[in-house]
Amino acid sequence: MNYKRILFFTAMLFCHAVNVVFAQTNPWRKGILVDEFLYDKAPFPECHASTIAQTKTGLVAAFFGGTKERNPDVCIWVCRHVNGKWTAPQNVADGIQNDTLRYPCWNPVLYQVPNGELMLFYKIGPSPGTWKGFMKTSADGGVTWSAQKALPAGFLGPIKNKPVLLKNGTLICPTSTEDKGWNVHFELSPDNGKTWTKTADLAKGDGATGAIQPSILFHKDGKLQALCRSRDRAILETWSGDNGVTWSPLTKTSLPNNNSGTDAVTLVDGRQLLVYNHVLPPGKEAKGARTPLNVAISNDGKTWYAALILEDSPISQYSYPAVIQTKDGLVHFVYTWRRQKIKHVVIDPKKLLLKEIVNGEWPKVAGYTAPVVSGPVSDM
C-alpha cells in the first residue's frame, strides 16, 4: 500500500471537515459555498490586486505577481476556471520597455463587454504616481490576448475596480491619481475603449483629504454612488445624478477604512454589497491592519448591515478584494491572501446573516469572538 498517499488524502479530508465545521459554527460564515485558492504553486513568490469577470466560456481572474510589489519583474497573470478547476497562472503582460529598462505592472482590471471581447486594463510604471494605462483584449475568454495598447495620454482606465455599463451605452471607469495628492475622477467611453472623455477631479468636502480606487453602484432612483478608499479613517462616498458626468464632493460614510482597497457591486435585487476591511485604525492613525475582511449589505447605500466575514485571522493581510455577481445569482470574491496567494470565495447572497452596523461598529453575535489583531501594518 502507498502509505504516503493514504496519509495525504487523510490530511485533506481532515482539513475539509474542519472547514465545513467552521463554516457551520461561525455565524459570520453563513452563505459561503466555495472557499479556495486560484493556485497552489506559482512561478512568483508574491501576488496582489486581483480582479474577476464572467465570460461566455467561464470565469477569468487576473492579478499581478512577482518578487515583490514595485519590483520590475512584476507581471500580469491570468487564471481561467475550466471544468471546475482553475488553470495555472499565465503571464499575459509585462513591463519590459527595452533591453535595459523594465518597469513593474500594477492593478489589472477585467471587464467583459456584453456579447463582445474581454477587456484587460492595467498600469505600467515605477510607481502609482508615474504609471501609465494600458489594455489588451481577448476574443476567446482569456485564452489568448491581443497586442498591448496604450490608453490615450492622461487616461489610466479603471484604477482598481471594475467599470460599469450605463443604460445609455457608456462605459464608465472609476479611477484616481496619486501624483498630486489623492484625487478621484471618472473616465467614460461610449464605444468600449475606442474613444475617451473624463471628468474633473472631484471636490473634497466634510474634512475629506482625498481618495483613490472608487467603485460604482446603481440606485433605483437613477443615481450613481461611488465608494472610495481614503486616508481619513473612513470610506468616502460621492454621488452623481447625471450618468457620471458630474459628482458631488467626497464625504465620509459611517464605515471605517484602514487605507486599503475596497470593492462593491449592485445586486440584481437592487441591494448594494460592499467588501472591505472593517478596521478603524488605532488612535488618529490613517492606516490599520488588513484583517478582518468583511462584507456589508445596504438597501440605500447609507445604512449598512454586517453580512459576512471572509477572513478574520490575526495574521494580516487579506486585502484588495474584487466582487461580481454572476448570471446564476451567486456572488464571487477574489482577494489577496497574505500576499502569497489569491483566494476565491463564492456565496449565496440570499443566505447571509444581516445585522445593522451602528456607529461604525461591527455587531456582536453569539457564538463568535473576534481575534486579537497585532503585528505590522501592511503597505500599499
Task: Find the CATH number of the domain harbouring 314.
Answer: 2.120.10.10
Q: How many domains does the chain have?
A: 1
| DSSP-derived 3-state class of residue 121 | strand
Question: Is residue 5 over pLDDT 70?
Answer: no
**Within-domain flag for 348:** yes
Mean pLDDT across the chain, nearest whole number?
Answer: 93
**Within-domain flag for 211:** yes
**Within-domain flag for 10:** no
Full domain range(s) for residue 78: 26-356
Question: Is residue 7 over pLDDT 80?
Answer: no
How much is the pTM?
0.92
Question: Is residue 136 over pLDDT 70?
Answer: yes
**Within-domain flag for 182:** yes
Identify whether the C-beta of residue 318 lies closer than 8 Å to the C-beta of residue 292.
Answer: yes
In angstroms, the CA 8 to CA 1 distance is 13
Question: Is residue 15 over pLDDT 50?
Answer: no
What was the pLDDT predicted at 212? 98
What was the pLDDT predicted at 206? 86
In angstroms, the CA 85 to CA 87 distance is 6
pLDDT in tens, 73-124: 999 999 999 999 999 999 999 999 999 999 999 999 999 999 999 999 999 9
**Within-domain flag for 171:** yes
CB atoms within 10 A of CB 15: 10
- Side-chain-side CA neighbours of 52 within 13 Å: the count stands at 28
What was the pLDDT predicted at 378? 55
| 220: confidence class by pLDDT, cuts 50, 70, 90 | very high
**Within-domain flag for 5:** no
**Within-domain flag for 181:** yes
Contact partners, residue 254, CB within 8 Å, separation at least 6: 234, 302, 304, 357, 359, 360
| 371: confidence class by pLDDT, cuts 50, 70, 90 | confident
**Within-domain flag for 8:** no
